[in-house]
Amino acid sequence: MVTHFSVPTLYYDGSFIDVLWDNHDNAMRWFENYLAWKVGRQEEWKVDPRCLQGRMTSTNWGTWLVSYLTNSRLPHHFAERGTVESNVRLCFRVHELQELHRKWMDDGIRVSAIYDGPGETRYFDVWATTEGIRLTLQEDSSLQHDELLPSWVRVGVSNLQASVEWYKQYMGMSVVRDDINQGYVLMSLKLNHREEDSLWIIEQLSGEAYKGKVDGQVQPICWIKDREDFFTYHQYLLGSGIETSEVGGYVTGGMVSFHFYDLDGNRFNISSM
């Protein structure tokens, strides 16, 4: 166990959505049609020099659609398909949750039932595009009827108290509101490029929920501003016995990334330049 180390400040920096190469344009059209997301910019950029080809599309709220072709499994940039769902949910707020749910059902889009969830509000899950990429919609009656805005990231855990302490120690998260008796704790990290915090709901999983390592297609990213701190943090996690990937990307100069797993196998992505 490595001791006497100060975890660098992690800044939430949006999410990668891992999209199949041949579905990249169709996936972006889905997000344009159903979430009113816009193309920010498009790049033929390889996330790792070992890629044969790469594509990235920037869209709303720091979200990137990412596709790549490779002859080998990359150390960091990959996602599993056709397995169990991740217990990490990327949430977006809407005003008319019931209306949107009904409309998408009528359009033949796969959605869950509406359910009560943490934060004393209602949610439903939607499986976006033909790939079935899961996102979560959350009710917020304070919004305008046509708005869709980002919310918190929900992370399901098997031992709420132990996980809260783990996130404090290994990610530097702070407790915003302790509703542990209601089955969740609201925590925060800094938000990149903004003078505010990102919010994370750590919630107690039910007894029958799957607990284990999952590499989902939706991958929230935390940013470390100092490159040297990035590599030191990577070694700290490894030395602390936390399952951590090799560093991927441009190790000799350029964007670098790795991921690690919490006590329940929830995946967290870390990047720097």
Q: In the chain, what are the domain boundaries?
A: 11-272
203-231 in b/e form (b: 16+ CB < 10 A) is bbbeeeeebeebbbbbbbbbbbeeeebbb
Q: Are 204 and 157 in contact (CB under 8 A)?
A: yes
Q: Which residue carries 């959605």 as its tokens?
A: 111
- This prediction has a pTM of 0.95
Calculate the average pLDDT of the chain: 96
Instruction: Please give the Cα distance from 234 to 118 (Å, whole number).
Output: 32
11-272: CATH topology: 2,3-Dihydroxybiphenyl 1,2-Dioxygenase; domain 1 (3.10.180)
| pLDDT at position 121 | 97
Mean pLDDT, residues 66-78: 97
Assess whether pLDDT exceeds 80 at residue 3: no
Assess whether pLDDT exceeds 90 at residue 172: yes
Assess whether pLDDT exceeds 90 at residue 146: no
Confidence at 5, pLDDT banded by 50, 70, 90: confident
CA dist 27 to 82, 144, 187, Å?
18, 26, 31
Confidence at 4, pLDDT banded by 50, 70, 90: low
Taking the mean position of all CA atoms in its chain, how far away is CA 4?
29
Angle, CA of 132, 185 and 197, to the nearest 5°: 80
Q: Tell me, what amino acid is at 232?
A: T
**pLDDT tens digits for range 179-235:** 999 999 999 999 998 889 999 999 999 999 999 999 999 999 999 999 999 999 999
Instruction: Please give the Cα distance from 35 to 32 (Å, whole number).
Output: 6
